[in-house]
Amino acid sequence: MKIAVLYDSKYGNTKQVAEFLADKMQVNNNQIRLFRTKESKPKDLLSFQPEIMLVGGPTHFGKPTRTLKKYIKSLGKSRPNNTFYKVAVFNCNIGGDICKLIEAELVDVFPKVEIFKYSLPITVCGMQGPLPDNWKEDATNFISAFLNGKELVRAIKEGLWKCSKAGACGECRYIYDEEKEGKPFEQLPDNWKCPLCKSSKSQFRKLNVSTQNQKMKDN
């Protein structure tokens, strides 16, 4: 799968997040390419022909930066009928989350775009940073849910989901993998919550890949 990470960055904080997210998506033969607004052109991104995008930028006076907005609008002018993008949004700020505003810019250009229901706003420690101590954990949970939500069916069909001892959050599709976590899901405390959307343990459903694979073969 081709994934483009489009971002704008002034002090380097959003750049760090963009590069971290790109690295986390290097799975299942995904092709990842980073596009910084001031170092690339919209035609470069479009020629890559991504199937999905991550779009991020800093908060500038309570809004997305002009550079990011201009880039997004240029994408629409170059590909006005594009409907294939699935998009997730991230933002670095000092208290003004603008993820919804970035999403609005995207929807204005691509009315049929599919926006991931969760975004990744990161509050930095001062205008120039640094990023908070827990930002990598939040970013990992975010990108895990984003990828799992889209890849789950394909992974099951192609036999890529090797671990049958896993549970998926019914709300955001975050995957709890027992083998990776080292603890059976049933042994988690009753007050345990999804690390991404904070849904309760009762919202998780067991994944039995071997059974689902067999059903698909039978069909």
More confident residue, 47 or 79: 47
Does the pLDDT at position 208 exceed 60? no
Q: Could you read off the pLDDT of 12-70 as tens digits, one per residue?
A: 999 999 999 999 999 878 899 999 999 999 999 999 989 899 999 999 988 999 999 99
Record the tokens describing residue 137, joined without a space.
């954990």
Does the pLDDT at position 133 exceed 60? yes
Q: Is the peptide bond before 50 cis (omega within 30 degrees of 0)?
A: no
CA dihedral over 40, 43, 48, 53, signed as positive or negative: positive
Domains of the chain with CATH codes? 2-141 (3.40.50.360), 161-218 (2.20.28.10)
pLDDT class of 128 with cuts at 50, 70, 90: confident
Lowest mean pLDDT among 102-106, 149-153, 188-192: 149-153
Give the pLDDT confidence score for residue 23 in this predicted structure.
95
What's the rounded Cα separation, in Å, for the pair 219 and 206? 21
What's the rounded Cα separation, in Å, for the pair 20 and 139? 8
pLDDT class of 141 with cuts at 50, 70, 90: confident
What's the rounded Cα separation, in Å, for the pair 6 and 71? 9
Lowest mean pLDDT among 176-185, 194-203, 206-215: 206-215
What's the rounded Cα separation, in Å, for the pair 155 and 161? 5
Q: Could you read off the pLDDT of 154-193 as tens digits, one per residue?
A: 443 444 333 334 567 766 666 677 776 778 888 888 888 8
